[in-house]
Amino acid sequence: MFTLPQKESRAPTTCPGPASSPGLDSHYGDGLGRECARKQDQKLQELYGVGDPTATFSSDSCHLSSRGRIIKWFWDSAEEGYRTYHMDEYDEDTNPNGIINLGTSENKLCFDLLSRRLSQSDMLQVEPSLLQYPDWRGHLFLREEVAGFLSFYCKSPAPLNPENVVVLNGCASLFSALATVLCDVGEAFLIPAPYYGAITQHVYLYGNIRLVYVYLDSEVTGPDTRPFQLTVAKLEMALQGAKAEGVKVKGLILINPQNPLGDIYSPGELQEYLEFAKRHKLHVMVDEVYMLSVFEESAGYRSVLSLERLPDAQRTHVMWATSKDFGMSGLRFGTLYTENQEVAAAVASLCRYHGLSGLVQYQVAQLLRDRDWINRVYLPENHARLKAAHTYVSRELKALGIPFLNRGAGFFIWVDLRKYLPKATSEEETLLWRRFLDNKVLLSFGKAFECKEPGWFRLVFSDKAHRLRLGMQRVRQVLEGKSQVAEDPPSCQTQEPSASTGELVVATWLCGHWAW
């Protein structure tokens, strides 16, 4: 686990409106109420932070360049929990006391569906063009399929143009490439925090680009507000604060659906953020990698590409990948859609380092064009399984009396464990994280996402039933002060009907198995 050192920045507080009462799962907050006026001398609210990856860096390696030492330092600092997990990974047969991973955001629920589809004969083709150097933007047949796929699932008002598509080996490469071609060394992007922390490395390691954190908090100040809500006022404050510190901001990063919150921006909110960016001539990178992982219809997700008019299409760049929505994080396919041909060409030039093999491009094209399988088989079943797993974990958290953000998108729940910290510090948060790891369950703590409120954790639920049930038992043990490695529960025999309703799926969950 890793978080960047940064310079914390403050601004004068203003008096908020009356605080609202908390909801059952997500609408709650501390609330300053009407006594704010006489609390002006208290600790000022932290509104933004400027990331500085080299602030506490030290290395005595004689074999690496200064840049190489920083890159290695990121590696040494960032992956502690992940490396520990891989050295002691849970296996039902060979290592039942190993670590259960509820920290890595991967969809492990649909391998059966994917393996059957990817093993079909139409996926296997070898021809000379697939073994030769391609157009670095990607083979035209793939870019045409991507454009058609995004047009359909993003519900774009007009068909999207394949000439605006670039394909790379995942969104990590895409973040790196975009940041490098849009910013000069030392410039920055605004990003609402908490955010997916690996973006820090994506934009810094190649381009030496910084992030300006737009800090969000859990306080609810009125009936029309929600925890960790992003507003244009917060964006303006962070932008002006960064400028005052001499940091040039070139863009804004939005993740929709959001990671780790699970929030979905409404079309009105998206329009407001894009208008803000246009006023300040900022590029906007919109990461929509979870767009097909919205399992609650009431969530009302809309892609930025569905908007009738983009305020500044030349500075709006949309990314998507198969890693999350198709549970194929190891395949390494990501795509950029931008109407700015200069940006597309610059990113394509970097694709010689981040390209996909022709064989993978062919497989992805075959997958994306199979709309019948996606709509009739994969998406309904994937959504049903995600919803069942989310329901199970939600019930477990409620039984423990733990507040959380109850959203209907993504693979994770943003969980409030602040009451388990003796002191509200990042050090105590890290100690709780280590207690989980010692009890053989890996979670992600809030500081890894630049959350300013110690005690929030991201818990991933998109895993098989027996692993998820065992992981939740181990979480419960830590929180109840009974840390010991939980063993596999006894098996439970169930029938295997098709998952047609959430109630049926949840009923089989209580036995610790999926029954489809």
Using alpha carbons, list the distances in angstroms from residue 264 to 134, 190, 291, 302: 36, 18, 10, 8
The CA dihedral of 178, 180, 185, 188, to the nearest 10 degrees, is: 10
Give CA–CA dist 397/277, Å, rounded.
38
Total residues found in the chain within this entry: 516
Strands of 94-162, DSSP E: 100-101
Nearest CA to 450 out of 7, 111, 113 is that of 7
What pLDDT sits at residue 486?
Answer: 55
Establish how many alpha carbons lie within 13 A of residue 142's alpha carbon, considering only the half-sphere containing its beta carbon: 27
Give CA–CA dist 443/458, Å, rounded.
6
Give CA–CA dist 446/433, Å, rounded.
10
Give CA–CA dist 258/411, Å, rounded.
11
Question: 444, 458 in Cβ contact below 8 A?
Answer: yes
DSSP 376: I
Q: Is the pTM for the entire model greater than 0.75?
A: yes
* Tokens coding 468: 């998820």
Cis peptide before 260 (omega within 30 of 0): yes
What pLDDT sits at residue 488?
Answer: 57
Which residue type does 231 have? T
What pLDDT sits at residue 73?
Answer: 84
Nearest CA to 476 out of 393, 390, 412, 387 is that of 393
Place of tokens 């009356």: 18
Nearest CA to 153 out of 262, 342, 305 is that of 305
What pLDDT sits at residue 482?
Answer: 75
What pLDDT sits at residue 38?
Answer: 37
Give CA–CA dist 189/192, Å, rounded.
10
* Tokens coding 66: 């200064």
**What φ, ψ does residue 286 adopt, rounded to 5°?**
-110, 115
What pLDDT sits at residue 420?
Answer: 97
Would you write out the chain's pLDDT as a tens digit for each of its 516 residues?
444 445 545 443 333 333 333 433 543 433 334 344 334 333 334 789 998 866 666 677 889 998 888 888 888 876 778 889 999 999 999 999 999 999 999 999 999 999 999 999 999 999 999 999 989 999 999 999 999 999 999 999 999 999 999 999 999 999 999 999 999 999 999 999 999 999 999 999 989 999 999 999 999 988 889 999 999 999 999 999 999 999 999 999 999 999 999 999 999 999 999 999 999 999 999 999 999 999 998 999 999 999 999 999 999 999 999 999 999 999 999 999 999 999 999 999 999 999 999 999 999 999 999 999 999 999 999 999 999 999 999 999 999 999 999 999 999 999 999 999 999 999 999 999 999 999 999 999 999 999 999 999 999 999 999 999 999 999 999 999 976 665 555 443 322 333 333 333 333 343 333 333
Question: Residue 215's beta-bridge partner residues?
Answer: 193
Sheet holding 210-215, edge to edge: 6-10, 46-51, 210-215, 188-193, 249-255, 283-287, 316-321, 334-338, 165-168
Element (H, E) at 287: strand 283-287
What pLDDT sits at residue 75?
Answer: 83
Residues 6+ apart with CB under 8 A from 43: none
Other beta carbons less than 10 A from residue 337's beta carbon: 27
Maximum pairwise Cα distance, the chain: 75
Give CA–CA dist 415/428, Å, rounded.
16
Alpha-helix runs per DSSP H in 187-340: 199-204, 232-244, 267-279, 322-325
What pLDDT sits at residue 102?
Answer: 98
What pLDDT sits at residue 33?
Answer: 40
Question: 409, 425 in Cβ contact below 8 A?
Answer: no
Give CA–CA dist 259/242, Å, rounded.
24
**What φ, ψ does residue 233 adopt, rounded to 5°?**
-60, -40
Angle ∠(224,233,242) on CA atoms, nearest 5: 150
* Tokens coding 326: 């198709």
Angle ∠(240,241,247) on CA atoms, nearest 5: 90
Give CA–CA dist 260/194, Å, rounded.
7
Using alpha carbons, list the distances in angstroms from residue 422 to 414, 418, 427, 446: 20, 9, 10, 16
Q: Are strands 441-442 and 412-416 parallel, antiparallel or unpaired?
A: unpaired
Nearest CA to 31 out of 223, 221, 228, 225 is that of 221
What pLDDT sits at residue 499?
Answer: 38
